[in-house]
Structure formats: C-alpha cells, structure tokens
Structure 1
Amino acid sequence: MMNAYTIVGGGAIGGTLAAYLVEGGAEVVIIDADHDHVAALRERGITIQRPDGELVVRVTAYHLDEAPERLEAVILAVKAQATDSAAAWIAPRLSDHGWVVSAQNGLNEATIAKHVGAERTVACFVDLFADVIAPGVIQDGGIGAMAIGEYTGGSSERIESLVHDLRLWGTPVISDNVEGFLWSKLAFGSMLIATALADEDMSVLIDRHRGLMAELAAEVLELTDAMGIHPEPFDAFVPSAYRATADQAETDAATDGLVAWLATQTKTRSGIWRDLAVRKRPTEVPAQFRAMLAFGEQHSMRMPKIRRLMELIQAIEQGEPMAETHIEELAKVK
C-alpha cells in the first residue's frame, strides 16, 4: 500500500485532503506558492475548522523554490488556470514510477497527461466544500463525494491505495466513469458560479432563480449527450432531472432537494464568490469554461448562457459590482 503523498497546492482542496490523509496514517508533504501559507503550515500545521470542532495536523511544507527534486505520488490541487504550468513543473521531477492525480475543478487530466503521460495520470472527481480563511486555516463546509480511476481506464493498486488512505474523508469510490462525474460537476458548478454574480447565499439564489439554474445545467448536459458521456449523480445533484427532456415536476423536485442540501452546508457561498468578494483575485471560471466551450464548438453547440456567465464573471473580476441584476440579465440570454 502506497502511503506517502506530495500535494502540490495546499489550499482548500489540497489542504483538506492532506489533513485527512495524515489522520489516516499517510505521510504528506505540501508544496505551495504562498509563502505565508507555507510559514503557517510549518509553524502550526493545518487547522481544519469543522462544525464539531477543529482538526489540527502537522505536515511538512515547502515553497516551490525549495521543493524536493524527486516526486512520487502527487496530488495536484491547484486552480484550473495553473494546471499547465504546475504539470510542467512536476514533469521533470516525477520519478519513473511516479504519478499525478488531479484533485481539481474542471477538466484537467488531458493537460496533466500532456506533460507526464496518460499512464501516469489519475482521474479524480471531488466535491469538496471548503475555503482557506487564513494562512494554514481551512473551513470545512461539509463532506462531499469523490471518485477516482485511471485516466486510461480501470483501477489499479495505486488507485486502491489512495482510496484506502482517503477513507477518513467523505466516501471515495473507484469508478470507470470519472469523466461522467466531472461533467456532472460542471453542470452543477455552473449553478454555483451563477450565484457568485450576487452577494447572497447559494441556496437562496438557486431557489430564487430556478429556471435559469436548470437552463445552465441543461446546456452542459446537452453537450455530454453529444459527446457520448454519461453524467453521474452525486451528493444532492441529479443530472437526469436537468436535461431538456426532463419533466418539470422532476426538475422541481430535484431542485427542492438540492436547495435543501445546500442549506445544510456550513459553507454558504461558493469559492468563486470568495475569490471575487474577499480575495479580489481572478477566478478559475474562464479556464473551466473555455475548455467546455471548445468542446461545444466541436459539436456545433453555442451554449449561450454558459458563455455569457463566463463574461459576467470576468466583468466582476475587472471591477464590475456584484448584483442580482446580472443573474436576471443572464436569464434573458437566448
């Protein structure tokens, strides 16, 4: 059983997984570009703030310019827009038997495989509600779903080992259809991203703008049909209920369940909202959506609401105020 991991990107996803891997007995090294975050990890370890109290674990942490020269099992957890540069940095350091798993948002496996090879790339879907709220401190917003599989298909000893080592976080499963989970997350994620256009909780805005939210998900799911991908349900998201052919009662029931589930999470705003409203930094939305829109163009699909959503997020990145009127405008896009 492999039980030593290097996590590149120790933020919300990487830091949370690191803490639970350590709790499960694995050895973990974090490599991160943020000097303050690395200093806090060295001094105090990772602090995970949970509804039932704090979890504090000690980890070894390095900044990029002092990282080890050889890497073995790597969990990549950087923002989607940093995937290409991060994978290029990892590739010459990766041992002959090393491998990289993408614990990220978006469709990043192909980019990673371009640098390290498909046979050394592990596909991963993770639905994790967490935020870095201070250097070394992560607010855990609730346990979600996780699916892992070989990028080239099937399972392996390293996959089984990783699932075992992550047993204290969520419910990781081995899947031959990680791609289906990733595309479902893009459909669900489009709803969450739309809520970042306004300064209000995710559950409230999804409930208030149900028609738009269903249409955003439907644009993504229509593309999966054209690509021959089977979207997988996860947590409270039921993709079949948001297809254009779904019965309205089915969509309403699914949205009822989704809104109720989101209302139970301690994380009430999306990570995209936090990037815009708190951190005042560019989001990973363009990186995620451009990849999706490129597939749409290959299949002659315009995806007008997804495209306009990306543009609205970029406008807020550049200084446009958040406002619910953006959501109302998006609903009118045809």
Structure 2
Amino acid sequence: MSGPVLIWGTGAVGGAVGAALVDAGHSVDFVDMDNAHVAALRDPARGLVVEGPVRSRAGPVRAWHPDELDGRWDKVMLCVKAHHTAAAAAMIAPHLADGGSILTLQNGLAARLAASILGREHVVVGFVNFGADRIGDGRILLGNRGAVALGEWDGGTTARLGEFWRLLGDFESEAVATPDIWAFIWGKLAYAALLFAEATATSGIAPTLDRPELLPLFRALVGEVVAAARAEGVEPAGFNGFAPNAFGPHARALESAASIRAIADFYRGGAKPHSGVWRDLAVHRRKTEVDAQLGMVVDIAVAHGIAVPALTGLIALIHRIEAGAAVQDDAHLSELALAFSAA
C-alpha cells in the first residue's frame, strides 16, 4: 500500500476507481457534495455498490461532505465533472499536504483548470475511457473496461507518477504511464465530440454511430478538434477503436467510417448503451460538460484562426436541450448535418 488516498467526487469515475482501491486494501476517503449519496456510501448494510459485467462489490466506505472533512492528504484523485473543477480545486487546497499532488481523472482540459488554482507543480494529468454511470445513491454501474493513462504535465518521469500508476493498476491492470499524456487528453476530446452528438439523440451510442448519413458530420466534428490539437502542437492519440489520423484533412471517408464503426463496436451490446452526457440530459436534467470540454476547444481553435462550424452548431444544440427549448431526438443530428453541409 502507498499511503492514504482522497477521492474527490464519488460519481461514476471516483466511485468505480475508489471502490477498486478499497478492495485492494488501500486507505481511501471519499468526498461528495450530495448528502444523500454520502449517507448511502456510509450505510453499513450496503455502502458503495459497484455492479455490472466488469466488477461487483458492496460495502461501506469512509465518505464525507466537504464541510465535514478534516485532514491533509499527499495523494488526491480529482473525479468531478469538468465544469466543477475550479470549485473543487479551491475546496481541496486546504486538504492538500505540503508537496502533495492531485491526479485529475476527468474529461477535457480540466487539468488546466485545476492547475490554475493549485499550481502545475501539484497536478498529475489523468485520462480515462472506461464506461461507468452513477445510477443511484451509493450505486455505480461499471459497464465496460477502457483505456486508462496518466502522465506528468511536462512528460517527465517522477516518483509520484509511479505511485499513482501503481494505484490505478489496482483498478485497470493495463493502465499506462505515458510521456505524452496530452495526446490522450486531446484524443479523448475528439472522441468526446461523437459522444456529445449522441447525447442529442435517443437511440444510443452504437445505433447513432451506425447512421451512414451522419458520417460527414462526424468527420467534421472530430476533424475540427484534431485541427485545434495540432495547432497546439499535439498529435492526438487513438484508443478503443478511435483513430485520429482517420479524421485529418487528407483522410478518406472510408478510413473515418472504419474508425466510427470500431468505436460503435466497442459499445455494441455492452452494459452502457448511452454516454454520460446523454444521462445528464435525459435522466439528471442538468447542465453538461459541453462548455468545459468542447467550448474550450472552440476557444482554442478560434485563437488559432481555425473555423469550427460543426462544433459550434453542436454546442448550441446541447444548450437548447439543457434550457428545455428542445428535447433529445434522433432527428437533431440529421438537421445539424444538413445545416453544416449548407454552411
């Protein structure tokens, strides 16, 4: 064991990873803003429940609301939604030991937000692509395994990186410590553009990606993110069926279609048919991460003079659904594809 760990945010990611660490014998404390969720995690009769085809477990864990937390930790895993990063980092600050570090297990460029509060010297950057959902108070569905990676901000090798890598190995045995973590982060942003598109529909990830008439839209969405990444000096990495090079300016439609099909196959028949963004809109009726993920990409692209009509159209559509001005519908993507084609 490598010392106590604080998991900040006990949703899909924090709950799934933290449960594996507890079961491996690590000392883990969990923090969440939801009082009912915290109470369920503490419940001696049930506790933190993980279910699904990958792993199952149940049992109480040490869980706290931020107002109850006392102490300082050398190792913190930040697992909140990207748009809650700044607020969470500010709350973590008094609980981070001198010389302590946080590992950001989040989507998008959340590590940049955490570093703006805590300083780059305290941040290790993480990437996850496994499928999980919080399906109730104290309940996490772990639907499928997926790529997990982590790395230092500047690509270096450090003792703390090794410690976090060994911890993550108790959750995902194929987790990798990489000198090029930003390639994974930007790869996930490009991949996420497809999942944000799926969230506006109703059919699910695989059926939505299977729609051949949407291929030009999918190529545009991913291509815009890849262009922004390259303008930042990053070549996005591929994983779980996603091949970034299939969406570059010189890629053929057949290459893009093959990658889209491989991503659909990754989800096909699994226990997680919809994205977490879809659940935010359809189940939780709450704001998504779209601004903290794709919105940040748009800002970066614009700063580099890159046109992003597909991304801006998708973001506007998600905003309408969030505001209740539109409902999730398979027809949205057809309309967006037509609007994009006419632009």
With the shorter chain as reference, the TM-score category is over 0.9
The alpha-carbon deviation at position 58 of structure 1 amounts to: 3.5
1:87 equivalent in structure 2:
89
How does 1:214-293 map onto structure 2 within 5 Å?
214-293=219-298
**Pair 1:166–1:282, CA change in 2 (3 A):** same
Structure 1 pair 32/191, CA: closer, same or farther in 2 (3 Å)? same
Contact 1:24 1:166 in 2 (8 A): no
| CA distance, structure 2, for counterparts of residue 214 and residue 135 of structure 1 | 38
Q: How far apart are the structure 2 equivalents of 1:247 and 1:11?
A: 39
In structure 2, the residue matched to 1:165 is 167
Superposed CA offset, 1:252-279 (max 9, x none): 2222222212204210001111111111
User: Which moved further from structure 2: 197-206 or 163-172?
Assistant: 163-172
**Aligned partner of 1:293: which letter?**
V
**Aligned residue among 103, 106, 110 for 1:104:** 106
- Count the aligned residue pairs: 334
Conserved 8 A contact 2:55-2:142: no
1:53-202 equivalence runs, <5 A: 54-170=56-172, 171-202=174-205
1:316 Cα deviation (Å)? 0.4
Task: Report the secondary structure of 1:139's partner residue.
Answer: strand
Of residues 227-236 and 249-258 in structure 1, the stretch that sits farther from structure 2 once superposed is 249-258
Task: Tell me the CA shift for residue 323 of structure 1.
Answer: 1.4
Query: TM-score, with normalisation over the residues of structure 1?
Result: 0.96
- 1:51-105 superposed Cα distances (whole Å, 9 cap, x missing partner): 2662224421001110124232110111111111111111233111211111011
Q: Is the 8 A contact 1:3 1:165 kept in 2?
A: no
Partner AA of 1:305 in structure 2: A
The answer to whether the 8 A contact 1:129-1:140 is kept is yes
Please tell me whether residue 48 in structure 1 is matched to residue 23 in structure 2: no
What secondary structure is seen at the aligned counterpart in 2 of 1:166? helix
Counterpart-to-counterpart distance in 1, 2:160 and 2:47: 27
Higher mean displacement: 153-162 or 266-275: 153-162
The sequence identity of aligned pairs, in percent, is 37
Give the SS at the match of 2:203.
Answer: coil
Q: Which moved more, 1:192-201 or 1:17-26?
A: 17-26
Cα pair 1:3 1:161 within 8 Å, conserved = no
Q: Residue 205 and residue 305 in structure 1: after superposition, are their counterparts in 2 closer, same or farther (change >3 A)?
A: same
Counterpart CA distance in 1 for 2:269 and 2:157 is 33
1:6-29 deviation per Cα after TM superposition (whole angstroms, max 9, x unaligned): 011000011011011122221110
Which position in structure 1 is the counterpart of 2:331? 325
| One-letter amino acid of the counterpart of residue 249, structure 2 | A
Q: Distance in 2 between matches of 1:164 and 1:3?
A: 12
Q: CA deviation at 1:2?
A: 2.5
Q: Distance in 2 between matches of 1:57 and 1:98?
A: 29
Q: CA RMSD in A?
A: 1.5
**Aligned residue in 1 for 2:24:** 24
d(CA) in 2 for partners of 1:79 and 1:28? 20
Q: Matches of 2:55 and 2:111 in 1, distance apart?
A: 35
Sort the Cα spacing of 1:32 and 1:214 in 2 relative to 1 into closer, same or farther, 3 A. Answer: same
If the length of structure 2 is used for normalisation, what is the TM-score?
0.93
Higher mean Cα deviation, 37-46 or 284-293? 284-293
Matched, 1:37 2:37: yes
**What residue is the counterpart of 1:306 in the other structure?**
311
Q: Which moved more, 1:300-309 or 1:51-60?
A: 51-60
Q: Conserved in 2, the CA contact under 8 Å of 1:49 and 1:138?
A: yes
CA distance in 1, matches of 2:309, 2:333: 14
4+ aligned runs moved over 3 Å, structure 1: none
Secondary structure at 1:101's aligned position in 2?
A: strand
Which range moved further: 193-202 or 151-160? 151-160
